[in-house]
Amino acid sequence: MKNNIYTVSQVNNYIKLLLEDDVLLNNIYIEGEISNLKRHTSGHIYFTIKDEECSINTVMYKQDALNFKQNIENGTKVICLGYISSYPKTGQYQFYAKSIEQSGIGNIFLDFEKLKEKLKNEGLFDDVYKMDIPSLPKTIGVITSETGAAIKDILNVAKRRNPNIKIIIIPTLVQGKEAPKSIINAINLANEYKNLDIIILARGGGSKEDLWAFNDEDLARAIFYSSIPIVTGIGHEIDFTIADFVADFRAPTPSAAIEVCLPEANILKEKIFNIINSIDKNINKRIKENKLNFKMNINRHCFVNFLDKILDYQIFTENNIDLINKNIHTKIRENKLILEANINKIEALSPMNILKNGYALVSDKNGNNIKSCKQLKKNDEIKLDFYDGETKAKIIE
């Protein structure tokens, strides 16, 4: 016999009464940073109050919002007075704000702006360092959650636009404290694939807190030093992260990211058809012109007897053959000289030749190339590659 059976409504309403009867929760001040602010047409204000670790959903009803004159935006640090209750239909508890007092710009927002300014001054956002996106990639690597909506959108678009392109999925965390490190590892792994043409770093929509992993400094540097161009498709069109500023190309959504990287098969076929059609028309035009010229030449020499015509055309043909042979040999000699010059240029630019002049390639203990002294600090171990061997060293100063 099952006793004390309650409906969902009864349980949720009971929890609501418990929260509202709690003296502490009935009149409480909460300090935090405003996020996900939405002003509804009804006059209600919906937002989230958060700190570095947690957040709580908040609503300010129209009658209280009318008395609130201050201008609050996302990133504003506030102190709110109100009470804790729950919404019975969903069973979720939330904070009901009666008044809001602004206490300054949020620390999280300030940290974002400081990091953004720092990386900008270092040149990580400069267009001069951004790599071009290949127009005809053969293989694309996708770094995202293997269970999220982003990967489904990307695969659907890829299948529709060009199913012949190879997609390699590199799963990673995209939210939480461990996400930046996970994404960095995925980027390093992607760079080990020698046949990848493009990397797409993607995540579906979410709150600013959900996307915060993409505002990590180490992640920004991993994107900057990637040897493969990276396209970001993070959140929605209005969402911007540090990763977007550093990436070689920023797409507004994951679906848009794959569309940027993937040429549509039908469009490619149409371009190829147009090229072939143009070549065919030019060939037919030349044939018609040559036929017309041939007839005109015959009419011009009608007064010459048949044998003389044959002799003339024989001489004409032999001369043309000689001229063609001379042109062929001349072109062969010219192309040979150009080829030799290009080979000399390539050899001159060869890293090994450069190393013979007293230079060396510098890399860290993980094999990553060192491009700037800013990447090094005291006691770092480095490797020096000379033209005839390698050695290791340590940074003293």
Q: 95 with 57, same domain?
A: yes
Q: 275 with 195, same domain?
A: no
Q: 147 with 257, same domain?
A: yes
**Residue 244 resides in a domain:** yes
Dump the DSSP string for 225-292: T-SS-EEEEES-TT---HHHHHSSEEESSHHHHHHHHS--HHHHHHHHHHHHHHHHHHHHHHHHHHHH
Q: Which of 83, 105, 127 is the last residue of a domain?
A: 105
Q: Give the total number of structural domains in the chain.
A: 4
- Token reading at 145: 């959650």
**Residue 18 resides in a domain:** yes
Check whether 278 has a pLDDT greater than 90. no
Between CA 201 and CA 199 the distance in angstroms is 6
**CATH number for position 259:** 3.40.50.261
Of 75-84, 106-115, 301-310, give the lowest mean pLDDT range: 301-310
Check whether 185 has a pLDDT greater than 70. yes
**Residue 360 resides in a domain:** yes
Residues facing residue 139 across a β-bridge: 166
**Residue 211 resides in a domain:** yes
Q: 133 with 198, same domain?
A: yes
Residues in the chain: 397
Q: 173 with 41, same domain?
A: no
Of 129-138, 183-192, 226-235, 378-387, give the lowest mean pLDDT range: 378-387
Residue range(s) defining the domain that contains residue 281? 268-338
pLDDT recorded at residue 82: 92
- Token reading at 377: 């600090």
In one letter, which amino acid is 327? N
At 202 the three-state DSSP class reads strand
Check whether 105 has a pLDDT greater than 70. no
Q: 292 with 322, same domain?
A: yes
Check whether 346 has a pLDDT greater than 90. no
Q: Which of 105, 133, 150 is the last residue of a domain?
A: 105
Q: 370 with 305, same domain?
A: no
pLDDT recorded at residue 293: 73
Sequence-distant (6+) residues with CB within 8 A of 381 are 364, 365, 392, 393, 394, 395
Q: 226 with 135, same domain?
A: yes
**Residue 330 resides in a domain:** yes
Q: pLDDT, tens digit, for every residue of 353-368?
A: 677 777 888 888 888 8
**Residue 349 resides in a domain:** no
Between CA 84 and CA 21 the distance in angstroms is 10
**Residue 344 resides in a domain:** no
**Residue 346 resides in a domain:** no
Of 18-27, 92-101, 230-239, 306-315, give the lowest mean pLDDT range: 306-315
pLDDT recorded at residue 268: 54
Half-sphere exposure at residue 88, Cβ-oriented, CA atoms within 13 angstroms: 13
Q: How confident is the model at residue 47 (pLDDT cuts 50, 70, 90)?
A: very high
Contact call for residues 198 and 229 (beta carbons, < 8 A): yes
Q: 307 with 334, same domain?
A: yes
Q: 73 with 213, same domain?
A: no
Dump the DSSP string for 27-52: SEEEEEEEEEEEE-TTS-EEEEEE-S
Q: 100 with 121, same domain?
A: no
Q: 186 with 280, same domain?
A: no
| Burial grade of 396 (CB within 10 A; 0-12, 13-18, 19 or more) | exposed
Q: Which of 105, 140, 167 is the last residue of a domain?
A: 105
**H helices, E strands: number in the chain:** 12, 13
